[in-house]
Chains A and B, each alone.
Chain A
Amino acid sequence: MSELVKVKHLHKEYGRNVVLKDINLSVKKGEVVVIIGPSGCGKSTFLRCLNGLEEIQGGVITVDGLPVEPEKKDISNIRQKIGMVFQSYDLFPHKTVIENAILAPILVQKRIRDDVVREALELLDKVGLADKKDYYPRQLSGGQKQRVAIVRALLMHPDVLLFDEVTAALDPEMVHEVLQTMQELAKTGSTMIIVTHEMAFAKAVADRIVFFDQGEIVEEARDVKKFFEEPETERAKRFLKTFAYE
């Protein structure tokens, strides 16, 4: 199996504060990797490193064989291979839903407008938002905005999708619709790396769980069910306990 994302000995620090220590991870094509861990454990920073939004102080990240180096000029070419959806406020407020979706494919990839629009409408229809195509982001609910953000990322035809706590800022009743969209994506064989606090979702969607704590990977589990029932490490056990009421 081809390894799409490869991370070797990644080291990241802010001044003296080390946030990521010797991270090694590779993600195969079509794999869904879910990263969990307590707040401030470095999981969001890790995602941001993957598409070059953060400079790294050591190690190598490659996507589809190409190194991710924020200061290099071709970083924008590599970023096209990596779709990212953020926690919130990432739609462009001065553009309508459809304009948000088609901007980058036309501007960056120089694709033909009509084709992009057609594809955008198909995707919007799939997430149930075709009728909202001319709305501005301010006229949408949080859940709708996030689904548009997912469509926007998909339109770039990325090799891998990164999700950075995309439901964390949503009202509980909105969370479900976004997670459902993501789960459908996972079924279609998209390669996804997801940072989330939704444990039930993680269990349902993950091919592999990666547990982060204090800037390092503490446990990696391919047997997802087993991880949630009886994790191998004490730290993961303690973390999972915080989600259970007793």
Chain B
Amino acid sequence: MDLNVLRSYIPLYNEALLLTLKTGLLGILTAFAIGLSGAAAIYFNVPVVKKVLGIYIELFRNTPLLVQLFFIYFALPKLGLRISAETCGILGLGLIGGAYMIETMRSGLFSIDRVQSESALSLGMTDRQVFFHIILPQAFSVSMPGIMANVIFLLKETSVFSTISLMDLMFTAKDLIGMYAKTIECLFLLVIYYLIMLLPVSILGSIIERRVRYAEFGD
């Protein structure tokens, strides 16, 4: 392995890392927003929305992200909708992640015993207060391990972005290999950079998880 090669590639990898993190985090935020509102809609049994979400979840969980990205990137412009590769990546990640997040949060919401909302209601709380103060916080601590697993899964899924020419880590590595054929160095850096990105997220995740779950489940 050539150290000089490694050193010269680092700025490119740094840039790619930033892009990966940016699109990844924005995608995850989108997924989270979809997940929360979708799960709430299912929880409150909103008639038509519930059906639509069912179809959405099945569609996005049962097709690969790669196919979804191709569809968004190549098919949508044909329908007259033109979006940048970056937006496309964020949207794709948000949509597949949203489907997973809905399922994770939904199971959390439905795991809360009915007497919880009944005792909150009997204290004079409104439905909205019951949801935000009683049900949601508990559902979060139940769903937290699943949410964290989704976050890490989604960050790794960003590697698919390279297929729509988004200059993420994967793309940068493949590109450099193609140009200079320093395969070992490029792949080595690729592994290191994914670890740099994901290890802190993992650690942060378990800290948050412990925090959120302490009240109900102890250490």
Contacts and interface: CB of A to CB of B under 8 A. Distances in A.
Contacts of B58: none
A217 to B, nearest CB: 23
B118 A93 contact: no
Interface residues of A, number: 31
A104 B216 contact: no
Residue with the highest number of chain B CB atoms closer than 10 Å, among A94, A107, A138, A153: A94
Interface string A70-97: 0000001101101110111111111110
B121 A93 contact: no
B125 interface: yes
Given A90-B116, A138-B216, A138-B218, A109 B121 contact: no
Given A90-B115, A92-B116, A108-B129, A79 B121 contact: yes
B133 interface: yes
A167 interface: no
Given A93-B215, A94-B141, A77 B124 contact: yes
A165 to B, nearest CB: 12
Interface of B: 113, 115-116, 118-126, 129, 133-134, 137-138, 141, 215-218
A67 B9 CA distance: 75
A152 interface: yes
Given A94-B138, A108-B129, A138-B218, A86 B118 contact: yes
Nearest to A92: B134
Contacts of B129: 107-108
B143 to A, nearest CB: 13
B123 A104 contact: yes
B119 A84 contact: yes
Contacts of A149: 119
B45 to A, nearest CB: 15
B138 A156 contact: no
Interface of A: 51, 53, 76-77, 79-80, 82-84, 86-96, 103-104, 107-109, 136, 138, 149, 152-153, 156
Nearest to B126: A76
A53 B138 contact: no
Contact of B124 (A76, A91, A138): A76
A92 B136 CA distance: 12
Nearest to B218: A138
A49 B213 CA distance: 34
Contacts of B113: 89
B129 to A, nearest CB: 6
30 contacts: A53-B121, A76-B121, A76-B126, A79-B123, A82-B122, A84-B119, A86-B115, A86-B119, A87-B115, A89-B115, A90-B118, A94-B216, A95-B215, A96-B215, A103-B123, A103-B133, A104-B123, A104-B124, A107-B129, A107-B133, A108-B124, A108-B125, A108-B129, A136-B215, A136-B218, A138-B217, A152-B123, A153-B122, A156-B123, A156-B124
Nearest to B118: A53
A146 to B, nearest CB: 12
A89 B114 CA distance: 10
Given A86-B115, A103-B133, A51 B215 contact: no
A169 to B, nearest CB: 11
Contacts of B216: 93-94, 136, 138
The 9 closest A-B pairs by CB, nearest first: A80-B124, A104-B123, A90-B119, A84-B122, A108-B124, A93-B216, A94-B215, A79-B124, A76-B124
